[in-house]
Structure 1
Amino acid sequence: MGKYIVRRLLQMIPVIILSTFLIYAMVFAMPGDPTAGKCGERPCPPAYVAAFNEKYHLNDPLPVQYGYYAANVLQGDLGENQYGRPVAEELTERFAVTGKLAVMALVIEGVIGILAGVLAGLRKGGFIDNLVLVSTLFVISVPIFVTGFAARYFLGLKWEIFPALASGKDPSFYALLMPAFVLASTSLAYIARLMRTNIAENIKSDYVRTAKAKGLTPRRIVGVHTLRNSMIPVVTFMGYDFGALLGGAIVTEGIFDVAGVGGYIFKGIQNRDGIAVVGAVTALVIVYLLMNLLVDLLYGALDPRISND
């Protein structure tokens, strides 16, 4: 197990380097003035532009610029945003909010998606199965920003069931409930369909017929044997999805004004704050890769036939 973890960590190094270099290049190598918007609507003074370029080595070739940036990242320095605040400090504050939102979304998609998939798989071809298939197809077909704005208008503004916005540095559980449902909606639909397919296939397997021949109760057959084997691809999907939820929250946090990492990137793009955007996305890449490692470890623990050595 230890060798596997070390090997996976070493494999992450080139992935982190390549992905962060592409992010850095997309922000600072593209045409345009990197200081645009930092001095309001007017162009920045030449002295400020010169100091900014010198601080971030923007006059050097792109590989040299990235080399300086990567060296600072290794020391925990992600640069400063346009307001002079360290990006690392702001991300530390906002990761707590985004993490809370992502965990809530993961629980929602896991509980509702797995339950719907199990019911549909056990009653394949019935009313519940058709209802799950149609409803999940509808959710998948609707873009997340449409779902978000519709939920905010109807559930927040018109019917006032939930707060329309989740503003503030530490929004409450209730304020984040609607954004969490919106963030989880698409993944919930995929999990339900994936679970349905797995249950329907595994219920016809030889080990299920053997369990029935031994006289095991249907609850034990489904709850212990069928469900466990059907959960393996679902757990894998949910693990990978958690990292995606952290990055995919950009749209959701922007709609509901959530002060998380996604909202930070959203506002950074609006304000043309390249340092903030690059730093935040770099942090998300690292978190996503660590989550992938955790998923692989859980996958091996869930299915003993799979070795992580």
Structure 2
Amino acid sequence: MADNEILVVGGAGYIGSHMCKYLWRRGYRPIVLDNLVCGHRAAVQWGPFIQGDIGDPETLDRVFSEYDIKGVLHFAAYTCVPESVDIPLKYYGNNVANTINLLQGMVRHGVNRLIFSSSCATYGVSDGTPMSEDHVQHPITPYGRTKWMVEQILDDVESAYGLRAVCLRYFNAAGADPDGHLGEDHRPETHLIPIIIKTALGQRDFLSVYGDDYPTRDGTCVRDYIHVEDLAQAHLLALERLLAGGPGGKYNLGNGDGATVREVIERTRGITQASIPVRFEERRPGDVPVLIGSSEKAIRELGWRPQYSDLDAIIETAWNWHRRYPDGYPE
């Protein structure tokens, strides 16, 4: 099994934990490194766990020495866009500086394959059509800029050290493990679908919707939502491309379509049979009307085949997990 050891940094978090289960089911041994600032120990169920920070060189040296790591999957970023506007140094420190430390550790130990969980926030403002990889990159928030900076760093690192990387850009991870073992548990929660579900469960008095005057079909923002299981599939396909000696690259992961905030609310009302009170608020800094990614390149070159293209199926898996664990992971 040592030949299949994959380091998953941020593996106790939402996407990272689903990735670990996906790896395990396909014969890999996920090694989780997570500082538990945002992740949950209870979400680590499919491999060894090391509590530590990618910003600590000694921790990295210990992990790379103890395990025969064949590749690294990087999910250890802070991701809250509004917070990045308010506390940018927190995001530059973790998302950029700590990633540099991770790369230095990989170079020291001869680990030369990285899958970087990036973001379509690197593009900035969209023209309203699904964005391909050649869309101009002009991020408008510190969060988006940190992802963009790391992508540039990875290009330089590949040229200098031969470390190959695949960057996967996407917008809204959503849904939960179809088996009900894993779900989304951010504290505080900032993502739309779990917030709607918490409101449906009576854990919130109302749902805040930020802006109802955007130039969209119903005045609320349009986003595409990708099931976390489909994201895991894409990350493994990219990793196996590198393990087979293939090149790095940059790929968008999107559904080519999108749903407005109002539409997501209505679909969730239909699934949960709850009223879900709504309060409309002012727009938030950094929000843009339409953000949709095109995945044509990922489908063509990586062989990505999303299984959860229907929004109802995404919401249903999230609803099932939140009903099972209404208070989140037991700590």
TM-score where L is the length of structure 1: 0.26
1 or 2 for the larger relative contact order (CA 8 Å, sep ≥6)?
A: 1
Decide which structure has greater helix share. Answer: 1
TM-score by length of 2: 0.24
Which structure is larger by alpha-carbon Rg, 1 or 2?
A: 1
